[in-house]
Structure 1
Amino acid sequence: MPSECIPYSETNYFTNLILDYLSQKPDVQKFYNRYPEIDNFQAQIEEKKASFSSEKRQVLVRVLERQYENVQISGATAENIKLLGEENTFSVTTGHQLNLFSGPLYFLYKIVSTINLTKILKEKHPEYNFVPVYWMATEDHDFEEINFFNLKGKKFKWNNADKKAGKTAVGFLNTEGLQEVFNLFSAEIGAGRDAAFLKELFENAYLKHENLTEATRYLANELFKDYGLVILDAQEKELKKEFIPHAKNELLDQVSHKTTSKSLEELSALGYNVQVNPREINLFYLTEDFRERIIEREGNYFVHDKEDIKWSREEIVKELEENPERFSPNVVMRPLYEEVILPNLCYIGGGGELSYWLELKNYFKAENVPFPMLLLRNSALIQTEKQQKKREKLKITNNELFLKQHELINRKVRKISNIDIDFSPQKEQLVNQFQQMYDLAEKTDKTFLGAVKAQEVKQLKGLDHLEKRLLKAQKRKLKDEVTRIANLQNELFPNGSLQERQSNFSEFYAEFGKELIPTLVEHLNPLEENFKILTFSQD
């Protein structure tokens, strides 16, 4: 299958911080320990091995075995869970929300990147084992972010949800109310063998499991079990016990806020946008009914909007020690929790995720936890052979595809037009003429300089206006060509955004079948720092 690539910097979809991180700009190097180049992993292995105990491994294996009790597990996944108990085994982790039917397409790219990095590491270090882990964000409570997916330009939304939606962790939510979404999805996806698989997958995941955690575990396992993917729900009392010392530091000393503040100031001083601003306490109090912030006031602790729940310092420490599962880390503390309970070497995420991880190095140092390597997940654009031929016929380069639509159309109209629509030479000539007038005004009466400047601006604006009118006229004349350009870009960039951030995997599975994921696994190399364009044939 043909594949091409372009640099991330030429896509116009990645922030300066991420681009500077990828280029290992010196200013950014202070915010991480090791860049994820293959030769740097040995040092990361040694550091993690020295800090991760055998006892932690046994807890992890025990929890995973319990979570997989009612799941049809593959031999590869069962073996990987067992291997996590051995001191020469390490994980590579990605995380994702419990989006309905996986949400945007990049869900696949995250996991494929994770799987493929473990393969690369095994080839480089055969004496170790490497396990791909998908961390389910079961504790998030932002229901509006996860209750829909897009298919063929249509939005499928979970409307009749559990009354606790948006109040407590999404992993707790009952899957009742998804029959309506299933019916609409079934009608839209159509007929055929691959469509039948997708219907069965949706039905088995969401209509035959009680909550969103179980449904998502089933879905991810069905898609990736052949690759040994291990799926973890960290909302477990036994795992939270290991995090008690760090949660206690947060409650009593606000460590995360104190240690990240300097990093945020430094990132801002370098001109980067801050992704996440930490609170003074970055823990929520979690029950099956609500997930709310913990607030400290004058030595006492409260739950936001729950004034009847409060503790003294001694009482909240006791509550933490007795019920650690009720203390839920937010986006600032979740990375630390992950690295405390996993023998992890590398976290793989999108640009937004890596941006907030880069705020946390000082926090990890203060808590004496190794800071993992950070790897940008693969990004890709999937096109058909037919779409590729359209692009070539329209003489659009891969790089031009990523332009804003008006820029792309203006560029192509200028290129294919039989007249010159670029008035730059005329503007340059006009500027030169007015320079002579400025010189003349300087020598005679300087009060005329303002009048000359006003006239220059007026005439340059006039040329701009004429140029735009001429370009608009040519667009009308080349209407068919303009329409074909717009239609092609709209197909590949739905809603004017990256395909991977809008479309659901089912749209492509229905078209390309069971070869979709194996093809992604074959062609997406997480250590290749380029945006991939993959061309699928249509049988």
Structure 2
Amino acid sequence: MKIENVPLLPANSLVGDYVRGRKEAMLFFPYAPFEESSYGKRLEWLYSRSYPHRDRLADGLYAYNQSIGNHPFALSQIAKLRERGLVVIAGQQAGVLTGPLYTIYKALHVILAARRLEERYKVPVVPVFWIAGEDHDLDEINHLYLPGDEGIRKIRMELPKAGKISASMLPLDQEACERLVSAFFGEVAETEHTASLRRLVREAARDARTPADWFARIMAQLFGKHGLVFVESSCPFIRELEQPVFQEIIRQNERIAAIIGEADARIRRAGYPPQLQIDPRQANLFLYVDGQRLLLEREGDRFQTKDGRFACSREELLRLLADDPRRFSANVVSRPLMQEFLFPTLAFVGGPGEIAYWAYFRELFAHFGFEMPIVLPRMSVTLVEGAIARHLEQLSLDLPTVLQRFDAWKQEWLARMDADAAAEDLLTQFSAVRQEFQSRYQPLVEQVIQFDRGLAELARKNADRLLAQVDFLQQRVERSLFERHAVTLSRIGRIETALLPGGKWQERVYTYFYFANKHGADLVDRLVELPFSADPDHKIVWL
């Protein structure tokens, strides 16, 4: 495998400006992610603070990682957190069979960044992956895609839709797991790697209790040997440690909403579109009611769910928190606060969407006495297989063109194709015939209508039919022209399916296991050892 760096910017203007270090975007972040001085400042700030819950955090992490079968090396990493250890952290939903490729790249990035920073600054740094297991939008995690001869194929796991049940609370249906695994491996070609991969996911499912647990066990098997530590958002020890932050969120709920609203106004004034949907009534936390994870809203001094099944005063909500913190859950605004409170975070690795909404949090962190960590743009990768590389070479097509302006390139190619001498002459004649027909036949139609208005509809339909026959013949000529270029069109289609499926980057669509089945069950291990640069360039990995 070899790596090529390509300078591609995110489509989101705020994130693009942040990656480039433009001052307009840097107003919303305390640290420039690619400036060395940022890390020295962040280290100084972290070591000026105390984390009295370090031992409780390490105990909980050890127990959880042991329960999911994480590797002994990952378990040994946790000990660093008892004293001066820092973390590089990222998080993601618990997608089936690890979800889209970018989940793998997040984990990879966290490991590589922790290694680099530990070596550079001679401080203990632990790579941590936060599993967002409490997500209740099961339609976002219940499927995967893989490329096929006819385009993209979707395989879905049947998960019950009984309200807003979190992936970490839903009992895992072993039969549904087996159907998904059988469907996936039935769609891909049998290789020397298939048996070991099938065994990995089946054994992980056999020992798992929930979809989030299945995800965690698979990820631990892939990344544990490289020291990646996992935490799942619904772990009881996490909720107990988070209790003081939930308490302040409830007490200062109005102020939090105001701070987020002010950040939204600043983002708009800076010329960027809003990155979050803001509602001043949002309480920015969820509550479990009858097993359902329901968003709370605030009306005056009362808190209630949208469906009205729960309502209480602020004091009653605080008492409920004291009695049972496990019923509370963070949302997109409060989760970063929890992360910063729990972990001595040197850097947070986020995708474009996450970076966009983290732009709202600088003043919110400061209000709680925190400081936003260094926000590192997540490594972005495209895997290019040998057959696709050959197609690119045959078409003299480069990856930046595919990833940034493929539609335009295809239109240019079609224009060149249409420039074939014989085809150009034919198509020009069709255009001339159509114009001549309209100029000569339309006056005749008008005379017929003047002669007998009862023939008006017939005359117009007759003209339309004649034009339709001209169009039909032109389309057949165009189809013949396309068929002459069928080989090239097939290559273009394969490139698009492999690298830009559905108009999206490959990393946002396909699953890791498709590539591991073809290129080796140790694909993650080989990716970890590649010399990825720490810059924001898009990485092309030639398999």
TM range (shorter): 0.7 to 0.9
Which residue of structure 2 aligns with residue 46 of structure 1? Answer: 44
Cα 1:51–1:471, aligned 2, differ >3 Å: closer, same or farther? farther
**Can you give the 5+ residue segments of structure 1 that lack an aligned partner in the other structure?**
423-467
Task: Answer yes or no: is the 8 Å Cα contact 2:304–2:311 preserved in 1.
Answer: yes
Deviation of 1:299 after TM superposition, in Å, equals 2.2
1:22 and 1:129 map into 2 onto residues whose CA distance is 27
Are 1:120 and 2:116 an aligned pair?
yes
Task: Answer yes or no: is the 8 Å Cα contact 1:175–1:207 preserved in 2.
Answer: no
- Within the candidate set 33, 50, 53, 2:30 is matched to 33
- Within the candidate set 49, 53, 57, 1:56 is matched to 53
Deviation of 1:325 after TM superposition, in Å, equals 1.8
1:68 and 1:491 map into 2 onto residues whose CA distance is 35
Deviation of 1:478 after TM superposition, in Å, equals 4.1
Query: In structure 1, the residue corresponding to 2:193 is in which secondary structure?
Result: helix
Residue pairs, 1:437-516, within 5 angstroms: 478-516=485-523
Deviations 1:41-93 (A, max 9, x none): 1211121222242x221111111122134343323212111111112x10000
2:338 and 2:275 map into 1 onto residues whose CA distance is 19
Structure 2 counterpart of 1:503, one-letter code: Y
Cα 1:239–1:278, aligned 2, differ >3 Å: closer, same or farther? farther
Which residue of structure 1 aligns with residue 459 of structure 2? Answer: none
Which residue of structure 1 aligns with residue 220 of structure 2? Answer: 221
Which residue of structure 1 aligns with residue 99 of structure 2? Answer: 103
Which residue of structure 2 aligns with residue 394 of structure 1? Answer: 395
2:157 and 2:492 map into 1 onto residues whose CA distance is 35
Task: Answer yes or no: is the 8 Å Cα contact 2:70–2:221 preserved in 1.
Answer: no
Task: Answer yes or no: is the 8 Å Cα contact 2:382–2:506 preserved in 1.
Answer: yes
Residue pairs, 1:39-438, within 5 angstroms: 39-53=37-51, 55-87=52-84, 89-126=85-122, 128-152=123-147, 153-159=152-158, 161-162=159-160, 164=162, 166-176=163-173, 177-254=176-253, 255-279=255-279, 280-287=282-289, 289-307=291-309, 309-414=310-415
Task: Answer yes or no: is the 8 Å Cα contact 2:33–2:376 preserved in 1.
Answer: yes
1:502 and 1:41 map into 2 onto residues whose CA distance is 33
Query: In structure 2, the residue corresponding to 1:407 is in which secondary structure?
Result: helix
Deviation of 1:474 after TM superposition, in Å, equals 6.8
Query: In structure 2, the residue corresponding to 1:305 is in which secondary structure?
Result: coil
Structure 2 counterpart of 1:534, one-letter code: V
Structure 2 counterpart of 1:382, one-letter code: L
Task: Answer yes or no: is the 8 Å Cα contact 2:197–2:521 preserved in 1.
Answer: no
1:364 and 1:371 map into 2 onto residues whose CA distance is 6
1:242 and 1:486 map into 2 onto residues whose CA distance is 52
Task: Answer yes or no: is the 8 Å Cα contact 1:59–1:239 preserved in 2.
Answer: no
Which residue of structure 2 aligns with residue 15 of structure 1? Answer: 12
Query: In structure 1, the residue corresponding to 2:208 is in which secondary structure?
Result: coil
Deviation of 1:168 after TM superposition, in Å, equals 2.1
Deviation of 1:132 after TM superposition, in Å, equals 0.6
2:526 and 2:272 map into 1 onto residues whose CA distance is 36
After alignment, is 258-267 or 104-113 more displaced?
258-267
Deviation of 1:510 after TM superposition, in Å, equals 0.6
After alignment, is 223-232 or 255-264 more displaced?
255-264
2:355 and 2:531 map into 1 onto residues whose CA distance is 19
Cα 1:74–1:480, aligned 2, differ >3 Å: closer, same or farther? closer
Cα 1:163–1:260, aligned 2, differ >3 Å: closer, same or farther? closer
Cα 1:44–1:158, aligned 2, differ >3 Å: closer, same or farther? same
Query: In structure 2, the residue corresponding to 1:216 is in which secondary structure?
Result: helix
1:368 and 1:257 map into 2 onto residues whose CA distance is 17
Deviations 1:204-239 (A, max 9, x none): 122331212321221110000111000001323433
Deviation of 1:242 after TM superposition, in Å, equals 3.5
Deviations 1:366-411 (A, max 9, x none): 1111211111111111112232122112111222212454412222
Deviation of 1:243 after TM superposition, in Å, equals 3.0
Which residue of structure 2 aligns with residue 453 of structure 1? Answer: none
Cα 1:56–1:496, aligned 2, differ >3 Å: closer, same or farther? same
1:205 and 1:23 map into 2 onto residues whose CA distance is 41
2:507 and 2:423 map into 1 onto residues whose CA distance is 35
Structure 1 counterpart of 2:222, one-letter code: L
Which residue of structure 2 aligns with residue 458 of structure 1? Answer: none
1:383 and 1:179 map into 2 onto residues whose CA distance is 30
2:193 and 2:104 map into 1 onto residues whose CA distance is 17
1:501 and 1:270 map into 2 onto residues whose CA distance is 29
Structure 1 counterpart of 2:494, one-letter code: N
Deviations 1:393-444 (A, max 9, x none): 211122221245441222234567567999xxxxxxxxxxxxxxxxxxxxxx
Query: In structure 2, the residue corresponding to 1:170 is in which secondary structure?
Result: coil
Query: In structure 1, the residue corresponding to 2:371 is in which secondary structure?
Result: coil
Cα 1:296–1:406, aligned 2, differ >3 Å: closer, same or farther? closer
Cα 1:415–1:121, aligned 2, differ >3 Å: closer, same or farther? farther
1:56 and 1:132 map into 2 onto residues whose CA distance is 19
After alignment, is 107-116 or 323-332 more displaced?
323-332
Cα 1:418–1:163, aligned 2, differ >3 Å: closer, same or farther? closer
1:485 and 1:70 map into 2 onto residues whose CA distance is 47
Which residue of structure 2 aligns with residue 24 of structure 1? Answer: 21
Aligned length: 482
Deviation of 1:515 after TM superposition, in Å, equals 3.9
2:183 and 2:479 map into 1 onto residues whose CA distance is 42
Cα 1:248–1:524, aligned 2, differ >3 Å: closer, same or farther? farther
Task: Answer yes or no: is the 8 Å Cα contact 2:58–2:79 preserved in 1.
Answer: yes
Deviations 1:467-488 (A, max 9, x none): x999999766645433422332
2:222 and 2:303 map into 1 onto residues whose CA distance is 44
Task: Answer yes or no: is the 8 Å Cα contact 1:237–1:325 preserved in 2.
Answer: yes
Query: In structure 2, the residue corresponding to 1:34 is in which secondary structure?
Result: coil
Query: In structure 2, the residue corresponding to 1:523 is in which secondary structure?
Result: coil
After alignment, is 346-355 or 280-289 more displaced?
280-289
After alignment, is 132-141 or 397-406 more displaced?
397-406
Cα 1:67–1:383, aligned 2, differ >3 Å: closer, same or farther? same
Query: Structure 2 length as normaliser, TM-score?
Result: 0.83
Cα 1:410–1:313, aligned 2, differ >3 Å: closer, same or farther? closer
Which residue of structure 2 aligns with residue 464 of structure 1? Answer: none
Task: Answer yes or no: is the 8 Å Cα contact 2:388–2:494 preserved in 1.
Answer: no
Which residue of structure 1 aligns with residue 538 of structure 2? Answer: 531
**Can you give the 5+ residue segments of structure 2 that lack an aligned partner in the other structure?**
425-473
1:49 and 1:525 map into 2 onto residues whose CA distance is 29
**Fraction of identical pairs, as percent:** 23
2:59 and 2:172 map into 1 onto residues whose CA distance is 27
Query: Structure 1 length as normaliser, TM-score?
Result: 0.83
